[in-house]
Amino acid sequence: MRPEDSSSATGLGCDICARQDVWDRQSAVINQALMAAPVLVGTVALARYRARKLLLYIPAVAALLTVWRRYVCARCRYYGTECSTLLGVMTAKMMPRDETLPLDRNTMVADFAIMGAIMAMPLREVMRNPSLALAYLLSTVAGMGSILVNACGRCGNDFCPMKDLRRTLLKD
């Protein structure tokens, strides 16, 4: 196997290439937990201040983590393996790989836009309580920071806008 072929989703090939391109379970779990934290804080805020909004928020989060993964994770090179989060493994258990279209920048931008819209949904309710606001801010920064620092540098999807953000912020 040639070194340039070693960055496949299986992580086979030269050890150096595999280490740069594949995540371990611990990193994936940490990133997943940190990315889930603001969703949990938002859910608590909505439950406390505007429970009816949960009827929109919970299905939106569920759709992002299930149906929408067909367009992102099922097309990604990390499908079926640990990626920056556990979504690659989770998606492989829910649906087959999507070979119709490759994952591209536009799909990643749409994914981040949907995530941003979902993250904005509980913002008004979160801001009503200083403790929830602080928890929401810290968990969002921790989740995004973990992905930018721990994941984007290793990811082989060079078209991802998060890589551009990482290059801008970390000057690498």
The pTM (predicted TM-score) of the whole model is 0.80
Average pLDDT, the chain: 85
* Angle between helix 105-120 and 25-49 (nearest 10): 40
Residue-level pLDDT at 172: 56
From CA 39, how far away is CA 22, in angstroms rounded? 26
Residue-level pLDDT at 154: 83
The domain ranges of the chain are: 12-170
Q: What is the sign, positive or negative, of the torsion defined by CA atoms of 34, 136, 166, 172? A: negative
Digit-coded pLDDT (tens) for 26-74: 888 999 999 999 999 999 999 999 999 999 999 999 999 999 999 999 9
81 has pLDDT over 50? yes
Cβ proximity of 40 and 32 under 8 Å: no
Residue owning tokens 């920071």:
145
